[in-house]
Chains A and B, each alone.
Chain A
């Protein structure tokens, strides 16, 4: 060890270079954005079996063979109110498509309040309740609104946390149909 200072300097330089390479390779990932990214896209949709507003049950099997939009929402969340017109118009455009179905899963709300909201706003798609948050947990939701596109074969084709625009809803349906 003739030049120990040189060896230490080299070691420091090596660590700095390795750190730089690792950071450069990971610079494209944004932890805050990643936290909002669903891990379910490309995977099988979680099974669910939850009550609907009419007193029956809604399960994943009910949407099998169809391109499904699953929207987590409730009556009191402001972003849910923002996306409500786009959701309603989107459903009206596609409700007669034989391969299409849509389910709204209500999180953290009172059944009577939801029933009154549905009646007042003429919501005609399936509304399901998730009183124990089991479906929300299986879909790994981070709040509401959160929307998923499920392909006819039961694969999650797209997911978004936050209010949906009309264009995004159309893109989700196209993604579900394209996934087959």
Chain B
């Protein structure tokens, strides 16, 4: 019994611990960590494909200062994010928003994956349910005759 289920129980414990470690709340992040996370989400307005965090362009430096100022004033991450969307439009965000049309970017892969999995399940089930053919005595006689006569 233990030999049979032991590995599965061990695997379950490992997965549960891993999920707990990943999802365990690590307390409220520091202001510097919040600022850096927001800087990494915003696109440098005058660069090609660089985040504000990675860019040394003057505008990016100004945005970094502004984000720190806003955090100091007690604004939430969402308020800060929205302030930049209001100024620059959604194109300022490197990660699509989870609302409006942008929601499709998040939902569509899950829907396609679910539909693909459903399709595979149905295909496997249909394959399993198909009646298996059994050779009758006449069939076996026919094969024997063919083998004998060459």
Q: Which residues of A contact B (CB under 8 A)?
A: 4-5, 8, 11-12, 15, 19, 22, 26, 31, 34-35, 37, 39-40, 107-108, 132-134, 136-137, 140-143
Contacts and interface: CB of A to CB of B under 8 A. Distances in A.
B66 A137 contact: yes
Given A8-B118, A140-B45, A19 B108 contact: yes
Contacts of B91: 31, 34-35
Interface of B: 45-46, 58-59, 61-63, 65-66, 86-89, 91, 101, 104, 108, 111-112, 115, 118-119, 122, 125-126
B89 A37 contact: yes
A34 B89 contact: yes
Contacts of A22: 101, 104
A5 B61 CA distance: 56
The 4 closest A-B pairs by CB, nearest first: A133-B62, A140-B87, A35-B91, A143-B46
Contacts of A143: 45-46, 59
B118 A137 contact: no
A8 B62 CA distance: 52
Contacts of A31: 91
Given A5-B126, A8-B122, A140-B45, A39 B89 contact: yes
A22 B101 CA distance: 8
Nearest to B90: A34
